[in-house]
Amino acid sequence: AQSVTQLGSHVSVSEGALVLLRCNYSSSVPPYLFWYVQYPNQGLQLLLKYTTGATLVKGINGFEAEFKKSETSFHLTKPSAHMSDAAEYFCAVSDLRGSSASKIIFGSGTRLSIRP
Partner 1 sequence: EPEVTQTPSHQVTQMGQEVILRCVPISNHLYFYWYRQILGQKVEFLVSFYNNEISEKSEIFDDQFSVERPDGSNFTLKIRSTKLEDSAMYFCASSYTASSGNTIYFGEGSWLTVV
> Residue 7 interacts with partner 1 (CB under 8 A)?
no
Among 20, 46, 60, 83, binds partner 1 (CB under 8 A): 46
- Which own/partner contact pairs does 8-11 have at CB distance under 8 Å and 24+ positions apart? 8/110, 9/108, 9/109, 9/110, 9/111, 10/110, 10/111, 10/113, 11/110, 11/111, 11/112, 11/113
> Residue 101 interacts with partner 1 (CB under 8 A)?
yes
Among 14, 26, 80, 102, binds partner 1 (CB under 8 A): 102
Where on the chain is the footprint of partner 1 (CB under 8 A)?
A: 32, 36, 42-46, 49, 51-52, 90, 94-96, 98, 100-109
